[in-house]
Amino acid sequence: MTDRLAVRKTYKLWIGGAFVRSESGRYDEADGVNFPRASRKDVRDAVAAARKAAKPWADRTAYNRGQILYRAAEALESRAGAMGVPREEVEDAVDVLLHYAGWTDKLHAVLGGVNPVAAPFLSFSLPEPTGVVGIVAPDAPPLLGLVAELAPALAAGNVAVVILSEAQPLPGLDLAEALGVSDVPGGVVNLLSGRRGELAKALGGHRDLNAILDASGDADLAAELDRLAAETIKRVRHGAAATGYEGATDDALDRLEAVTELKTAWHPVGA
């Protein structure tokens, strides 16, 4: 009797709620495993999928989005032994998802409110999602660093296109499998692996992108993203990679505000 050979895992991109190959057919290698090298066309496809998913996701109740993030945390914890990173990093990532799941129905109370004005008007402000958010994940930690940027964007009602760690993309691609069995709708999260320099510039210059969260720590790339964002007036947040639960949650409100717009309405009162 011969020994059975294990089925080797085939990694794919996660776009529009489906596992897809790069349209270019290119692959790179990490830890002895091939993974897809996304192209600029894959970036455009991911942004299109995110844009299609943006309104339905934003229209969900805050409570429902919190439930979905909670379910994503459950799915991630159930795969803790298969994520290719230390269990402690997975646990921190799960806790970060749970933390921001709790923010979804509190954001309006914290950021919104009635504005005092010296006039016969009632003025009030309501937070709204920015829209399609591009995320440049850090090289390390590959899973926690990604989740620390992704969770607040989703909690605020945004959808995301993520460029994964260039050095360690496999944990990010494994996250797609957890999202695939959770209740996160297709297109809300899109995960791309490949060469950061190529993909980040294509993403930053896309005119249907509303904001960029850059945790790469690359000063030259940050300057280029600022230039690209200025051309289409995108919000940009540069930050250091979170290395633990506290680093991802201590500045939670700053992270949420970076992907939130405030809509102010004025209403006459009195005679």
Taking only the tens of pLDDT, the chain with its 271 residues reads 678 888 888 999 999 999 999 999 999 998 889 999 999 999 999 999 999 999 999 999 999 999 999 999 999 999 999 999 999 999 999 999 999 999 999 998 898 877 777 777 777 788 999 999 999 999 999 999 999 999 999 999 999 999 999 999 999 999 999 999 999 999 999 999 999 999 999 999 999 999 999 999 999 999 999 999 999 899 999 999 999 999 999 999 999 999 999 888 877 876 5
Angle in degrees, CA 201, 163, 254, rounded to 5:
95
Query: What is the pTM assigned to this prediction?
Result: 0.94
Q: What is the pLDDT of residue 124?
A: 76
Please tell me whether residue 172 adopts helix, strand or coil conformation. Answer: helix
Q: What is the pLDDT of residue 5?
A: 83
Q: What is the pLDDT of residue 1?
A: 62
E strand segments, 87-229: 113-115, 121-129, 132-136, 159-163, 189-192, 211-214
pLDDT tens profile 34-43: 999 999 999 9
Domains defined for the chain, CATH in brackets: 13-268 (3.40.605.10)
Separation CA 153–CA 11 (nearest Å): 25
**Strands 211-214, 132-136: parallel, antiparallel or unpaired by DSSP?**
parallel
Q: What is the pLDDT of residue 118?
A: 73
